[in-house]
Structure 1
Amino acid sequence: MRLHVDHRTDYVFSEPQRRLVQLLRVTPINFAAQHVVDWHIDVDCDARLRNHRDGFGNHVTTLYIDGPISNVALRVSGEVLTDDRSGMVEDAGERLPTQAFLRTTGLSRADEAIRKFAKEIAKAKKDPLERMHLLMARLLERIHFEPTLDAVERDAATAFEASQGVCQDHAHIFCAAARAMGIPARYVSGHLFRRDGAEQQEASHAWAEACLPSIGWVGFDPANGISPDDAYVRTAIGLDYRDAAPIAGRRVGGGDESLSVDVRVTQAQSQSQN
């Protein structure tokens, strides 16, 4: 599928800022299931952009803006060719050993309730792939998807106890439970093309990947109950949300800030006309 992504972020500050520094993990990388055709980052003011790859292999753009500045509009757009490979992640240029993704973090920590949940799944299925599919299905049933919640940095244990959350919560709980079963897992951020025609979205999407014996890394989206197909654009990975957050940074200046995000994922015009 040929997908077009348009991701706009607008900042408004109550007081002029002296400096703004942002880390942008918004640029996809090429691997077997996706190929970046075209990609742009545009800022509506004078800014310096520097690109590098982080320890996870993510494409990171550091954005520097010198003030005084009262508002910033950041637009990320481009086209990606995607292929349905049943969630398998191949030729992604892994930078870290698989065992690194057994590490826990504050956001992906498994408490006693999650460990018990994982143990029940491990008893039900012996095959690692079947275990991960069952884990995804059980989370879809147990954690009610509530897109109006604004808690991308809520930890897995809190979301599990609440039995509701956003896609970031589903991904954190999946990682916590998979690691509790001894299966390396990682958090993934990206975009999702809605086949129901809902082009406009309020945020990026998130899911998880698990590394399985003799298969390798495979994606699982507990918020939707499927493995990623050609409707998914994968942009960044990490141990949790903080490693793969689309935008993170700091500002120098007082006052408050307001943030609005608009994400649109559509089929590229050339394809839709065909």
Structure 2
Amino acid sequence: MLLTVKHTTHYSFAEKVYHGLQRLRLKPKSTHGQEVLEWRMDLVGAKPEADYDDQHFNHTDLVSIEPGGREVVVTCHGTVRTIDNNGVMGTHSGHMPLWCFLRPTPLTRAGNRVRQLVASIDADRENTLDFLHALTRAIGEQVEYVPGTTDASTTAEQALTAGQGVCQDHAHIFISAGRLLDIPMRYVGGYLKMDGLVEQEAGHGWAEAHVPGLGWVGFDISNAICPDERYIRVATGCDYSEAAPVTGIAMGAGETSLDVHLSVDEKLVGTQKQSSGGGGQQQAQGG
């Protein structure tokens, strides 16, 4: 599948910024199941300072906000070819050892509700793949997808207790539960194309578990499926905070507002385009 993406992130500041830096994880890499054919990032109100691969092997751009500016606009355009690997990403690579994906983080630390969830799963824990599919179903049943009920600081325990959340929360609960059973888990941020939509509210988030004999396997808890050719992986981390598309500081900015525009479409060579797209929450919160 050939997917095209246009993603615009627009920050507006109430006051003039006298110093600001932003870290951008917005460029996908060619990896298992996807090939990045082209990708361009345009900046307004900011300039590039450096680019590097972070500890999770995410491509990262560091940009500075122009002094005296009151807005920053980051626009990404790209085309990615994808295939369906049934969610299997394969063997582990990158700078982080697998044991790092077992440690709890502030967003994924398990409390009583997560422990109760794990105890309630009626599946053979020795069969890791079956257990994870059962866990996916259980989270979907217990946590309703309701946009606007959580934010980027909501923990897995809080979302599970409330019984509401978005894809970021579903992924964090899944990660928290899996780590209790010593399964390496990580968060994935990216894009999802869904039939019938081109324009989206924001990017999407899901999780990957390291399964014996398969390596990393993706689980989209919000949609109860393993990622297929409709998905583009952009960044991974131990939780959302390490895979967030944009993070940074802006000194003197005052109140900040954020506006995101995102389209994901299928490009059919030699035929008429079909409408498609997907959704989730982003920046202040993922999917």
TM over 0.5: yes
Deviation at 1:65, TM superposition (A): 2.2
RMSD between aligned residues: 1.7
Is the contact made by 1:167 and 1:205 (CA closer than 8 Å) also made in structure 2? yes
Aligned to 2:189: 189
Counterparts of 1:91 and 1:262, CA distance in 2: 34
- Partner of 2:90, secondary structure, is coil
What do the CA deviations read for 1:24-78 (whole angstroms, capped 9, x no partner)? 1111111120010000110123512421000111110111123100112110110
Aligned to 1:253: 252
* 1:83 equivalent in alignment to 2:83: yes
- Partner of 1:37, secondary structure, is strand
What do the CA deviations read for 1:210-246 (whole angstroms, capped 9, x no partner)? 0011111000010000000000000011111110001
Is the contact made by 1:32 and 1:91 (CA closer than 8 Å) also made in structure 2? no
Q: Specify whether residues 91 and 27 from structure 1 end up closer, same or farther in structure 2 by C-alpha distance, changes over 3 A only.
A: farther
Aligned to 1:147: 147
Aligned to 1:21: 21
- Stretch deviating more after TM superposition (47-56 or 171-180): 47-56
Counterparts of 2:190 and 2:91, CA distance in 1: 18
Aligned to 1:173: 173
Counterparts of 2:246 and 2:46, CA distance in 1: 18
Is the contact made by 1:2 and 1:271 (CA closer than 8 Å) also made in structure 2? no
Is the contact made by 2:189 and 2:244 (CA closer than 8 Å) also made in structure 1? yes
Counterparts of 1:182 and 1:120, CA distance in 2: 17
Is the contact made by 1:152 and 1:166 (CA closer than 8 Å) also made in structure 2? no
Counterparts of 2:110 and 2:51, CA distance in 1: 34
From the two aligned structures, give the one with the greater helix fraction.
1
Is the contact made by 1:119 and 1:181 (CA closer than 8 Å) also made in structure 2? no
* 1:157 equivalent in alignment to 2:185: no
- Partner of 1:47, secondary structure, is strand
What do the CA deviations read for 1:95-132 (whole angstroms, capped 9, x no partner)? 22212100101100110121121123275553000011
Q: How does 1:168-247 map to 2 (within 5 A)?
A: 168-195=168-195, 197-247=196-246
Deviation at 1:150, TM superposition (A): 4.9
- Partner of 1:75, secondary structure, is strand
Normalised to the residue count of structure 2, the TM-score between the two structures is 0.90
Is the contact made by 2:175 and 2:185 (CA closer than 8 Å) also made in structure 1? yes
- Partner of 1:116, secondary structure, is helix
Aligned to 1:8: 8
Q: How does 1:255-270 map to 2 (within 5 A)?
A: 255-268=254-267, 270=269
Letter in 2 for 1:265: V
Counterparts of 2:271 and 2:156, CA distance in 1: 39
Letter in 2 for 1:253: G
Aligned to 1:41: 41
Q: Specify whether residues 136 and 106 from structure 1 end up closer, same or farther in structure 2 by C-alpha distance, changes over 3 A only.
A: same
Normalised to the residue count of structure 1, the TM-score between the two structures is 0.95
Q: Specify whether residues 72 and 254 from structure 1 end up closer, same or farther in structure 2 by C-alpha distance, changes over 3 A only.
A: closer
Q: Specify whether residues 150 and 12 from structure 1 end up closer, same or farther in structure 2 by C-alpha distance, changes over 3 A only.
A: farther
Is the contact made by 2:91 and 2:216 (CA closer than 8 Å) also made in structure 1? no
Aligned to 2:277: none
Unaligned ranges ≥5, structure 1: none
Is the contact made by 1:212 and 1:218 (CA closer than 8 Å) also made in structure 2? yes
Aligned to 1:52: 52
Counterparts of 2:253 and 2:25, CA distance in 1: 26
Counterparts of 1:271 and 1:179, CA distance in 2: 47
Counterparts of 1:211 and 1:118, CA distance in 2: 17
